[in-house]
Structure 1
């Protein structure tokens, strides 16, 4: 499923669940997009890795190996923004979002 289809199909479902658990919609959206990107960078789907392999004329296994450190960093980032809401909502709180 491409990213636009995933957004159209899944967002109405998770927004209702997020509202039931009183999760801020902005925070939930950022978590959702970060998780989508993580999913598009990991095998077996790894759509972005297939595109990079084709574009740079490199074997897919080389692209997988080269992206592994970034996957680890992105995974840690997803965990941080999921469990530390201030990282995603702090700027909004500073400028006084209601």
Structure 2
């Protein structure tokens, strides 16, 4: 599912849960988008990986290997965003 379809389908389901548990809507949205991007960088559904392999005419294992450091950095960034809300909500306060 592409990112726009996921937003249309899943956000109405998780937004009320976020409100129920007291999660700031902007914070929840940023976590949601960052997690979607992580999903697009992981096999077997990694849409961004398939697009990169097609565009640069490379084999998938080479693309996996090239994107692994960026995936790890993004994974750490998502963990920070999840557990330190001031990162995403600092400008709102």
TM range (shorter): over 0.9
The CA RMSD over aligned residues, in Å, is: 0.6
Any stretches of 5+ residues in structure 2 without a counterpart? none
Q: Say yes or no: does 1:29 pair with 2:48.
A: no
How far does the alpha carbon of each residue in 1:10-39 deviate from its partner, in whole angstroms, 9 at most, with x for none? 001110000000100000000000000000
Q: Following the alignment from structure 2 to structure 1, what is the Cα–Cα distance between the partners of residues 54 and 9?
A: 28
Q: Following the alignment from structure 2 to structure 1, what is the Cα–Cα distance between the partners of residues 39 and 51?
A: 14
Q: Say yes or no: does 1:64 pair with 2:64.
A: yes
Once the two structures are superposed, the pairs formed by residues 13-92 of structure 1 within 5 Å of their partners are 13-92=13-92
Using the size of structure 1 for normalisation, the TM-score is 0.93
Using the size of structure 2 for normalisation, the TM-score is 0.98
Task: Tell me the CA shift for residue 88 of structure 1.
Answer: 0.2
Q: Give secondary structure in 1 for the equivalent of 2:90.
A: helix
Task: Tell me the CA shift for residue 91 of structure 1.
Answer: 1.4
Q: Give secondary structure in 2 for the equivalent of 1:91.
A: coil
Any stretches of 5+ residues in structure 1 without a counterpart? 94-98
Q: Following the alignment from structure 1 to structure 2, what is the Cα–Cα distance between the partners of residues 25 and 69?
A: 30
How far does the alpha carbon of each residue in 1:38-78 deviate from its partner, in whole angstroms, 9 at most, with x for none? 00010110000000000011111100000000000000000
